[in-house]
Amino acid sequence: MPLTHRKDLGLLALRLGAGGVLLAHGSQKLFGWFGGAGIAGTARGMEQMGFTPGRESAIAAGLGEAGGGVLLALGLATPAAGAAAAGAMAGAAAVHAPAGFFAQSGGFEYPALLGFVAAGLGLSGPGRFSLDHATGHRLDRPATVVMAFALSAAAATVVLSRRAATLAAAEASDPDRDADSRTA
């Protein structure tokens, strides 16, 4: 098997694996599948974690994960898919950051890994076994990569800055507030 085909198979495996996991997580948020809370429950959780408004935050996170996951798995609009999923995972990593790095202590290891894999796929491209390849890479151009990651980084910065301000305001109004509520 030629080396290029092995790389393409590797990219396909990464896309299917990461895309499937992201789709499952987003489906929990959007539809309540796989034991998830659905929009209403996720919205309440988002509010508790400092993401306001909760419903819009739940929809955005769910779409970033599920939509990014489906597109990554298909290898369609791969730069936008990778950037959207990475942006959603930046929010998840921020929630888990106070618990440290490792997942067994509630840390950000898992969302960071998903975010880095999604970003890596968005930057590297989907490989031959993809819809982007089949469509002549119409949605996978260098300008798309730059625009998708710039927009995702800007959106994540705004969302995380707003969350930090919301948490600071809540802390100021209730100094005895339990710090564990930040990772609800």
Q: How many CB atoms lie within 10 A of CB 184?
A: 13
Tens place of pLDDT for every residue, the chain, 184 residues? 667 689 999 999 999 999 999 999 999 999 999 999 999 999 999 999 999 999 999 999 999 999 999 999 999 999 999 999 999 999 999 999 999 999 999 999 999 999 999 999 999 999 999 999 999 999 999 999 999 999 999 999 999 999 999 999 999 988 766 554 544 4
pLDDT (0 to 100) of residue 174 = 81
